[in-house]
């Protein structure tokens, strides 16, 4: 063993790894520390710029041309022990850096957030300030997107004017280089001195002010090619060996995380499409009433739905409801329930109680493991008369110049909860210019408040509708959404489904 201070004890394999300047994880994997040092007298190699928030970002993006050295005056001791201690400190610093970056990446829950984090972390690891990631899954199922770091949308547009075959990301995406086992990277240390550089590429590089680039493919053996990432340097430069090792390991981990998020994104998009296709593609036009609907689907896909259909004798049927559960099965059950209600509404829509009774019987026979809430209203626009019945559903809200109040409906159980459902109907007459707002419980649940406070918030939002938008049911519904669900709670990826159906009577 070498003469090393007692505070640091390592095996011989450690010395060999350090002397051969092995990579971070390769060296760490080949040694096991006998003891834990209580302190390191030699200074640690600094972390990569941008990792520690207390360290200011570099003023330029030129990568260092040689490894960082520690002068004898900066260390408390000299000799082989001090040199080994410095190398170990660098290895620990690199490992800590990778751990922090992967932890940040793991906390991202959406594909766009993960791509942005990939760009930021990669820029810090290779010593760049700007970059872009092009997402183009090889299976052609999308989503295809381009995200920039330090590049405006117009800058990305300029880059896209370069012939694709002349760009680093184009070479990775359109050839075997971007596939698992293909070329791992494309380094262009000095674009303007490069022979055969496309004139348009030279023009765009000069316009945007970058002189070098480093590109990596984003691909996995399981998912295939996902995309490519490119980082841009302001001056001629290229990553050093230590930076290449770090970015390579980080990119492999990031690509696996992106593959998981991509699959989740596709599942969400599929469920959203299914939900939208099972809902009305457009609302009917009926004399004497204006209609508008708003729908927000949760990430797992829920069973909230709405419907509006013309009925005989110039009548109009309005319905909202919610099926228990989430995911594809709940979406499919919602579609069956809505289709059945439409059939019953055409046959006996003037009696909302009969419509819901038939629906309850059907659910009990065909969906015994589910329950649902529903509200059906039979409207006569010429008379502004509404007859409605609800099964465990929240009461409608009447919004007008002179009043904002909930409709008094009888308390009843959801469909499928009792052996035989029946509840009395309620009649009301809307004044000219009043809007009847039907909604699902998701609007109340997304607030996170107890139900009494959620109802109070909804009433306050409806009462504060500006006069200028009262004549537009769509604008009125948007105002209610923004007021009841502030701070992004109305986003499509919130937990609960939300449905609003507004009918303004003339």
Are the C-beta atoms of 218 and 251 separated by less than 8 Å? yes
Q: Say if 4 falls within a structural domain.
A: no
- Length of the chain equals 506
pLDDT in tens, 235-244: 999 999 999 9
Does residue 119 register a pLDDT over 90? yes
Q: Say if 6 falls within a structural domain.
A: no
Using DSSP bridges, classify how beta strands 224-233 and 130-135 pair: parallel, antiparallel or unpaired: antiparallel
**Confidence category of residue 34, pLDDT binned at 50, 70, 90:** very low
The pLDDT value given to residue 301: 67
* C-alpha span between 419 and 8 (Å, rounded): 76
Using DSSP bridges, classify how beta strands 372-380 and 404-406 pair: parallel, antiparallel or unpaired: unpaired
Answer yes or no: do 49 and 158 share one domain: no
Element (H, E) at 272: helix 241-278
* C-alpha span between 153 and 445 (Å, rounded): 37
Are the C-beta atoms of 164 and 152 separated by less than 8 Å? no
pLDDT in tens, 324-350: 887 788 888 888 999 999 999 999 989
Answer yes or no: do 242 and 382 share one domain: no
Q: Say if 300 falls within a structural domain.
A: yes
- Domain of 372, CATH number, reads 3.60.40.10
**Confidence category of residue 497, pLDDT binned at 50, 70, 90:** confident
Report the pLDDT averaged over residues 452-469: 94
Answer yes or no: do 369 and 492 share one domain: yes
Answer yes or no: do 267 and 316 share one domain: no
Give helix 328-348 / helix 352-366 axis angle, nearest 10°. Answer: 140
Main-chain dihedrals φ then ψ at residue 49, nearest 5 degrees: -55, 135
Entry pTM? 0.63
Answer yes or no: do 336 and 475 share one domain: yes
Does residue 210 register a pLDDT over 80? yes
**Confidence category of residue 63, pLDDT binned at 50, 70, 90:** very low
Q: Say if 263 falls within a structural domain.
A: yes
Answer yes or no: do 315 and 404 share one domain: yes
Answer yes or no: do 86 and 68 share one domain: yes
Domain ends where: 252, 271, 290? 271
What are 419's two structure tokens?
């052996």
Answer yes or no: do 302 and 451 share one domain: yes
* C-alpha span between 351 and 289 (Å, rounded): 20
Does residue 389 register a pLDDT over 80? yes
* C-alpha span between 500 and 506 (Å, rounded): 19
- Domain of 179, CATH number, reads 3.30.450.40
Q: Say if 5 falls within a structural domain.
A: no
* C-alpha span between 28 and 96 (Å, rounded): 12
Q: Say if 474 falls within a structural domain.
A: yes
Answer yes or no: do 26 and 96 share one domain: yes
Q: How far is CA 281 from the centre of its chain?
A: 25
Domain ends where: 237, 271, 305? 271
Answer yes or no: do 307 and 386 share one domain: yes
Q: Say if 373 falls within a structural domain.
A: yes
Domain ends where: 255, 271, 287? 271
Answer yes or no: do 471 and 331 share one domain: yes
Supply the range of the domain harboring residue 382: 279-505
Largest CA distance in the chain: 100
The pLDDT value given to residue 444: 92
Q: Say if 7 falls within a structural domain.
A: no
**Confidence category of residue 183, pLDDT binned at 50, 70, 90:** low
- Cα separations in angstroms, 126 against 11, 250, 260: 31, 11, 25
Answer yes or no: do 213 and 351 share one domain: no
The pLDDT value given to residue 176: 64
Give the total number of structural domains in the chain. Answer: 3
Element (H, E) at 115: helix 111-126
């Amino acid at each position: 063993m070498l003469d090393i201070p007692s505070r640091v004890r390592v095996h011989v394999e450690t010395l060999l790894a350090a002397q051969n300047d092995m990579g971070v994880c390769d060296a760490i994997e080949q040694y096991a520390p006998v003891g834990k040092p209580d302190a390191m007298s030699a200074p640690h190699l600094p972390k990569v710029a941008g990792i520690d928030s207390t360290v200011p970002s570099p003023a330029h993006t030129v990568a260092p041309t040689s490894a960082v050295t520690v002068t004898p005056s900066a260390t408390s001791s000299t000799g082989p022990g001090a040199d080994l201690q410095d190398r170990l400190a660098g290895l620990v610093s690199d490992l800590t850096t990778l751990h922090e970056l992967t932890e940040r990446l793991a906390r991202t829950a959406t594909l766009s957030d993960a791509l942005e984090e990939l760009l930021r972390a990669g820029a810090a690891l290779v010593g760049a300030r700007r970059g872009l990631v092009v997402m183009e899954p090889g299976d052609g199922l999308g989503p295809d997107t381009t995200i920039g770091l330090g590049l405006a949308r117009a800058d990305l547009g300029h880059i896209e004017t370069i012939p694709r075959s002349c760009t680093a990301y184009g070479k990775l995406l359109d050839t075997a280089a971007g596939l698992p086992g293909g070329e791992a990277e494309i380094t262009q240390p000095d674009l303007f001195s490069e022979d055969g550089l496309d004139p348009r590429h030279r023009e765009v590089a000069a316009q945007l002010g970058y002189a070098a680039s480093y590109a990596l493919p984003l691909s996995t053996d399981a998912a295939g090619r996902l995309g490519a990432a490119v980082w841009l340097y302001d001056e001629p430069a290229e990553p050093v060996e230590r930076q290449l090792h770090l970015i390579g390991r980080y990119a492999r981990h990031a690509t696996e995380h992106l593959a998981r998020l991509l699959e989740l994104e596709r599942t969400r998009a599929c469920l959203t499409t299914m939900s939208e296709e099972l809902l009305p593609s457009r609302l009917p036009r009926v004399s004497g009433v204006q209609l508008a609907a708003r729908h927000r689907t949760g990430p797992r896909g829920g069973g909230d739905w709405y419907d509006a259909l013309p009925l005989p004798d110039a009548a109009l049927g309005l319905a909202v409801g919610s099926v228990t559960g989430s995911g594809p099965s709940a979406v499919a059950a919602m579609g069956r329930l809505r289709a059945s209600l439409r059939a019953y509404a055409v046959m006996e829509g003037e009696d909302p109680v009969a419509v819901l009774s038939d629906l309850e019987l059907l659910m009990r026979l065909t969906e015994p493991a589910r329950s649902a809430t529903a509200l059906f209203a039979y409207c006569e626009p010429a008379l502004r008369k509404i007859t409605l019945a609800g099964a465990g559903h929240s009461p409608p809200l009447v919004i007008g110049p002179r009043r904002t109040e909930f409709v008094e409906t009888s308390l009843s159980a959801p469909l499928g909860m009792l052996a035989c459902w029946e509840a009395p109907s309620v009649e009301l007459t809307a004044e000219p210019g009043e809007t009847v707002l039907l909604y699902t419980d998701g609007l109340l649940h997304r607030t996170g408040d107890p139900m009494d406070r959620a109802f109070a918030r909804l009433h306050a939002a409806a009462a504060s509708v500006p006069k200028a938008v009262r004549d537009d049911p769509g604008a009125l519904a948007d105002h209610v959404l923004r007021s009841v669900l502030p701070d992004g709670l109305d986003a499509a990826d919130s937990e609960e489904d939300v449905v609003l159906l507004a009918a303004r009577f003339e």
